[in-house]
Amino acid sequence: MEKLITLEEYIIHAQNKFPGATGDLSQLLRDISLAAKIISREVNKAGITNILGLEGSENVHGESVKKLDLFANEQWINALSRSNITCMVISEENEGIVRLSDKSGKYIVYVDPLDGSSNIDINASIGSIFSIYMRKDVSKPLSESVALQPGTEQVAAGYVLYGSSTVMAYTTGLGVQLFTLDPSIGEFILHEKKVRIPKEGNIYSTDEGSYLFWDEALKKYVKYCQELDPSTNRPYKARYIGCMAADLHRTLLQGGIFMYPDSSRYPNGKLRLMYECNPLAFIIEQAGGKATDGKKRIMEIEPTEIHECTPVYIGSEENMKKLESFFEG
Ligand code: AHG
Ligand code: MN
Ligand code: MN
């Protein structure tokens, strides 16, 4: 029988490869896994504990917030406060930066504590997404500008998917590792090392109900996906879970393309650069895929606001190339 490797063991093993490593990033990943386990437990009993339903307030973007969003946000902030290595957290659920008690902490963490929250009430997949940066200059006071770094500066990123089982994918720039939570022992178990996204896939994923709001080039590309041509595996299948972490998890494993474009309804797209698109772009690139805003690499965008939106196109190399050929006209 193959030996089970826990996230804990894997982290130690990975850290030992770097002789000078302080262990701080390893500790941070452990803290994150704790938040993930607590949220996973709560998600599983959400129906029974009456946590479902609208919380009544709105988040900083004017979207209605569900109780579980707030619970998840609290868990992330508590977990990141444990080890004094994170100086600030930027969360979808907080308008400004959240300064943690140890102002000398060297990491900055962005988080979407609960992604796909409209899926909560229907028992469909939800997730958490995180992105970690170094605080470059410890002498500078903690502010938004200190946190605004392009995605290429991420030291680690990942997501947790609370699906039919709970999985966690993360990268520190050395490929993507995938773990599955065994709730009976409370451990994330290594599922796959150095995950690779298929070079090409036959799934496209987007909210096609917004078709009329799209640019011509995108309309044409989606029509291309629907055309009959068995030699190129078309028509593609359409899949859209409405939870970017879940849609990206499928894309990572099965290939294809996920798109949340700019449109006449959302001129800058709807998804957030810093805690949705950058971390998932890092994961997909590390697995051999691509992520752009339609023109440039997502991770090279210079951010100007912590909550800014960007259009995003992300997936298998060949599907991305084909999309780009439509955009180039
Ligand atoms: P969140 O629940 O964190 O607000 O994120 C939901 C996001 C994303 O996960 C998903 O891909 C997208 O919103 C769905 O948006 P539409 O309902 O516009 O399709
Ligand atoms: Mn989200
Ligand atoms: Mn969210």
Q: What is the pLDDT of residues 267-281, one digit of tens each?
A: 999 999 999 999 999
Of the ligands numbered here, which is closest to the C-alpha atom of 93?
3
Question: Which H or E run contains 68?
Answer: helix 67-81
pLDDT > 90: percent of the chain = 83
Ligand 1 atom closest to the Cα of residue 59 is 4
Q: What is the pLDDT of residues 143-172, one digit of tens each?
A: 999 999 999 999 999 999 999 999 999 999
Region 122-140: mean pLDDT is 94
Is 65's pLDDT higher than 70?
no
Pick the CATH number of 203-328 from 2.60.120.10, 3.40.50.12280, 3.30.1490.20, 3.40.190.80: 3.40.190.80
CB 78, CB 72: distance < 8 Å? no
Whether residue 115 has its Cβ less than 6 Å from ligand 1:
yes
CA of 128 to the centre of ligand 2 (A): 8
Residue 60, pLDDT score = 75
CA of 111 to the centre of ligand 3 (A): 9
- Give the residue extent of every domain in the chain: 7-192, 203-328
Region 172-181: mean pLDDT is 97
Evaluated on CA atoms 246, 252, 254, 259, the torsion sign reads positive
> Cα–Cα distances in Å, from 309 out to 8, 99, 113, 313, 315?
34, 23, 17, 13, 19
- Residue 236, SS3? coil
**pTM for the full predicted model:** 0.95
- Of 4-13, 39-48, 104-113, the range with the lowest mean pLDDT is 39-48
Whether residue 261 has its Cβ less than 6 Å from ligand 1:
no
Q: Matching CATH topology for 7-192 and 203-328?
A: no
Q: Which superfamily, per CATH, for 7-192?
A: Fructose-1,6-Bisphosphatase, subunit A, domain 1 (3.30.540.10)
Residue 163 DSSP class: S
Backbone dihedral angles phi then psi of residue 295, each to the nearest 5 degrees: -125, -50
